Chains A and B, each alone.
Chain A
Amino acid sequence: MCFPDCESPQPFDARIVVLNITSNIMKKTFTLGMMSMLSAGIILSTGCSKDDNNSPSNPTYTVPDTYNFSDADSLGAKTTLSMLAEVEAVINSGNTKGVSVDGAKLKSMLTNQGGFFTDTVFNSNTLHLNTAAFQLKAGTVSSAQSVIDNIMDSVAAASKTGNTASNGVAGVSERKTLLSANGIYWRQYFTKTMMGVLLGHLITDAYLGDSLNNATTSAAKIHAWDQAFYLWCVPANFPTNRSGVKYWGSYTSQIDSGIAKPVAALTGINANPTLMSAFLTGRAALSNNDNATATQQAGIIIPFFEKMEAAAALHELNEAKGNLPNGAAAVCGNLSESLGFWTALKYNQHKTISDADYQAVLTLYGTNFYNITPAGIDAILDKISSIYGWDSVKSNL
Chain B
Amino acid sequence: MKHQHLFTTVIAGLLGTGALLLSCSKSDNSTSGPGDPPATTSDTVLVNLGTNIILPSYQRLATSTATLDAAATAFTAGASSATLSTVQAAFKDAYKAWAACSEFEFGPAADRFLSTHFTNSFPTDTAIIKSNVGGASYSIDGLANFAAQGFPALDYLLFAYGNDNTLARFTTNGNAAGAKQYLTAITASIKTKAAAVADAWSPSGGNYLDKFVKATGVDAGSSLSLLANSYVQDFDVNLQNYKMGIPIGIYGPNTLPKSPTKVEGYYSGLSDALLLAQVQAFQAIYQGGLDDKVAASKAQYGAGSLNDAINSQLSNLITKMQGLPEPLSTGIQNNAATISSAFTEIRKMTVLLKVDMSSALGIKISFQDDDGD
A contacts, CB < 8 Å to B: 166-168, 183, 324-325, 327-328, 331-332, 369-375
Interface-central residue, B138, B139, B142, B144, by most chain A CB under 10 Å: B144
How many whole Å from B133's CB to the nearest CB in chain A? 15
Contact A375 B141 (CB under 8 A): yes
Contact B143 A369 (CB under 8 A): yes
Contact A328 B143 (CB under 8 A): yes
Docked complex: B154-169 residues within 8 A CB-CB of A: none
Contact B141 A183 (CB under 8 A): no
Chain B residues near A371 (CB-CB < 8 A): 137-139, 142-144
> Which of A325, A370, A374, A375 is B144 in contact with, Cβ under 8 Å?
A370
Closest residue on chain A to residue B143 by CB atoms = A328
B348 lies within 8 A of chain A by Cβ: no
Interface class of chain B by DSSP: loop
> Which of B117, B139, B144 is A324 in contact with, Cβ under 8 Å?
B117
How would residues 214 to 245 of chain B score, 1 for a CB under 8 Å from any chain A CB and 0 otherwise?
00000000000000000000000000000000
13 interchain pairs, CB-CB under 8 A: A168-B137, A324-B117, A328-B146, A369-B143, A370-B139, A370-B142, A370-B143, A373-B141, A373-B142, A373-B143, A374-B113, A374-B118, A375-B112
> Which of A166, A168, A327, A372 is B142 in contact with, Cβ under 8 Å?
A372
Interface bin, chain B:
10 to 19
Contact A325 B117 (CB under 8 A): yes
How many whole Å from B345's CB to the nearest CB in chain A? 28
Contact A331 B143 (CB under 8 A): yes
Query: CA–CA, A152 to B118, complex, Å?
Result: 35
Query: CA–CA, A325 to B144, complex, Å?
Result: 12
A-B contact count (CB 8 A): 40
Chain B residues near A375 (CB-CB < 8 A): 112-113, 141
Chain A residues near B144 (CB-CB < 8 A): 166-167, 328, 370-371
Query: CA–CA, A168 to B113, complex, Å?
Result: 25
B contacts, CB < 8 Å to A: 112-113, 117-118, 137-139, 141-144, 146
How many whole Å from B25's CB to the nearest CB in chain A? 25
What are the nearest 3 A-B pairs in CB distance?
A371-B139, A370-B144, A373-B141
Closest residue on chain A to residue B110 by CB atoms = A321
Query: CA–CA, A367 to B146, complex, Å?
Result: 19
How many whole Å from B105's CB to the nearest CB in chain A? 11
Task: Contacts A371-B138, A374-B118 given; indicate if A183 touches B113 (C-beta within 8 A).
Answer: no
How many whole Å from A211's CB to the nearest CB in chain B? 43
Query: CA–CA, A167 to B143, complex, Å?
Result: 9
Closest residue on chain A to residue B193 by CB atoms = A375
Contact A183 B117 (CB under 8 A): no
How many whole Å from B148's CB to the nearest CB in chain A? 11
Known contacts A331-B143, A370-B139, A374-B113; 19 further A-B pairs (Cβ under 8 A): A166-B144, A167-B138, A168-B137, A324-B113, A325-B117, A328-B146, A332-B143, A370-B142, A371-B137, A371-B142, A371-B144, A372-B142, A372-B143, A373-B141, A373-B142, A374-B118, A374-B141, A375-B113, A375-B141
Query: CA–CA, A325 to B113, complex, Å?
Result: 11
Contact A372 B118 (CB under 8 A): no
Query: CA–CA, A369 to B142, complex, Å?
Result: 8
Query: CA–CA, A375 to B118, complex, Å?
Result: 12
Contact A372 B139 (CB under 8 A): yes
Closest residue on chain A to residue B121 by CB atoms = A325
> Which of B137, B138, B146 is A327 in contact with, Cβ under 8 Å?
B146
Query: CA–CA, A375 to B144, complex, Å?
Result: 14
Chain A residues near B138 (CB-CB < 8 A): 167, 371
Chain A residues near B118 (CB-CB < 8 A): 324, 374
How many whole Å from B299's CB to the nearest CB in chain A? 30
Interface-central residue, A168, A327, A328, A373, by most chain B CB under 10 Å: A373
Query: CA–CA, A295 to B190, complex, Å?
Result: 56
Chain A residues near B117 (CB-CB < 8 A): 324-325
Query: CA–CA, A327 to B142, complex, Å?
Result: 11
Query: CA–CA, A324 to B144, complex, Å?
Result: 11
Chain B residues near A327 (CB-CB < 8 A): 146
Chain B residues near A167 (CB-CB < 8 A): 138, 144
How many whole Å from A331's CB to the nearest CB in chain B? 5
Query: CA–CA, A168 to B128, complex, Å?
Result: 13
Closest residue on chain A to residue B138 by CB atoms = A371
Chain B residues near A373 (CB-CB < 8 A): 139, 141-143
How many whole Å from B60's CB to the nearest CB in chain A? 23
Chain B residues near A325 (CB-CB < 8 A): 117
Interface-central residue, B137, B141, B143, B144, by most chain A CB under 10 Å: B143
Closest residue on chain A to residue B117 by CB atoms = A325
Closest residue on chain A to residue B142 by CB atoms = A371
Closest residue on chain B to residue A373 by CB atoms = B141
Closest residue on chain B to residue A166 by CB atoms = B144
How many whole Å from B297's CB to the nearest CB in chain A? 29
Chain B residues near A166 (CB-CB < 8 A): 144
How many whole Å from A118's CB to the nearest CB in chain B? 37
How many whole Å from B113's CB to the nearest CB in chain A? 4
Closest residue on chain A to residue B140 by CB atoms = A373
Chain B residues near A374 (CB-CB < 8 A): 113, 118, 141
Chain B residues near A183 (CB-CB < 8 A): 143
How many whole Å from A88's CB to the nearest CB in chain B? 25
Chain A residues near B113 (CB-CB < 8 A): 324, 374-375
Query: CA–CA, A372 to B146, complex, Å?
Result: 11
Query: CA–CA, A370 to B21, complex, Å?
Result: 50
Closest residue on chain A to residue B111 by CB atoms = A378
Closest residue on chain A to residue B139 by CB atoms = A371
How many whole Å from B373's CB to the nearest CB in chain A? 19
Query: CA–CA, A332 to B146, complex, Å?
Result: 13
Query: CA–CA, A354 to B143, complex, Å?
Result: 30
Query: CA–CA, A166 to B141, complex, Å?
Result: 16
Query: CA–CA, A331 to B117, complex, Å?
Result: 14
Closest residue on chain A to residue B113 by CB atoms = A374
Chain A residues near B137 (CB-CB < 8 A): 168, 371
Closest residue on chain A to residue B141 by CB atoms = A373
Closest residue on chain A to residue B189 by CB atoms = A373
Chain B residues near A369 (CB-CB < 8 A): 143
Query: CA–CA, A183 to B144, complex, Å?
Result: 10
Closest residue on chain B to residue A369 by CB atoms = B143
Query: CA–CA, A371 to B144, complex, Å?
Result: 6
Chain A residues near B112 (CB-CB < 8 A): 375
Query: CA–CA, A168 to B145, complex, Å?
Result: 13
Query: CA–CA, A371 to B137, complex, Å?
Result: 9
Closest residue on chain A to residue B192 by CB atoms = A375
Closest residue on chain B to residue A335 by CB atoms = B143
Query: CA–CA, A45 to B366, complex, Å?
Result: 56
How many whole Å from B210's CB to the nearest CB in chain A? 20
How many whole Å from A170's CB to the nearest CB in chain B? 14
Query: CA–CA, A183 to B146, complex, Å?
Result: 15
